């Protein structure tokens, strides 16, 4: 007789530390950079995928808003800020990983050379965890 253990579905939780770019200096020739974190915690080691929505704008050109005004930025999977973090569409990449507790860094950049209206800018990104 063969004994089979019951199947246990993983229970995973997601927590997010948002990016805070601080103050944008329109006279600076340097991009404004920041990092945030997406942390996945599962009760058993599991494979999963983390996808980010485009927010306002597109994966190629996300934008933070201040009323009708906008400030362009993007989110990346790598510290060199070359791979746009998205859902796998529009030239973006979703992040796959596995484990019990995984902390993935989100790299953000606001390109230099923009001349935004003075004020507070923000955007909302939906983080989707699939496992």
What is the number of domains present in the chain? 1
pLDDT, residue 10, reads 83
pLDDT, residue 5, reads 54
**Domain residue limits at 79:** 20-37+49-97+105-122
In a domain, 11, yes or no: no
In a domain, 117, yes or no: yes
Q: What is the mean pLDDT of each run of 10 residues along the chain (131 residues)?
A: 64 95 96 98 94 96 96 98 97 96 98 96 96 87
Q: What is the DSSP letter of 115?
A: -
The verdict on pTM exceeding 0.85 is yes
In a domain, 116, yes or no: yes
- 8 A C-beta contact, residue 32 and residue 22: yes
In a domain, 1, yes or no: no
- 8 A C-beta contact, residue 94 and residue 86: yes
In a domain, 66, yes or no: yes
Tokens of 30: 């340097």
């Amino acid at each position: 007789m063969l004994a089979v253990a019951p199947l246990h579905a993983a229970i995973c939780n997601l927590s997010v530390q948002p990016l805070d770019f601080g103050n944008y200096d329109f006279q600076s020739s340097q991009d404004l950079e920041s990092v945030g974190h997406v942390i996945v915690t599962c009760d058993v080691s599991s494979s999963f995928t983390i996808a980010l929505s485009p927010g306002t704008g597109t994966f190629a050109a996300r934008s933070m808003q201040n009323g009708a005004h906008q400030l362009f930025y993007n989110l990346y999977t790598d510290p060199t800020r070359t791979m746009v973090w998205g859902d796998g569409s529009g030239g973006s990449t979703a992040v796959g990983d596995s484990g019990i507790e995984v902390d993935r860094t989100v790299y953000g950049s606001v390109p230099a050379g923009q001349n935004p209206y003075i004020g507070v800018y923000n955007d909302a990104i939906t983080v989707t965890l699939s496992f």
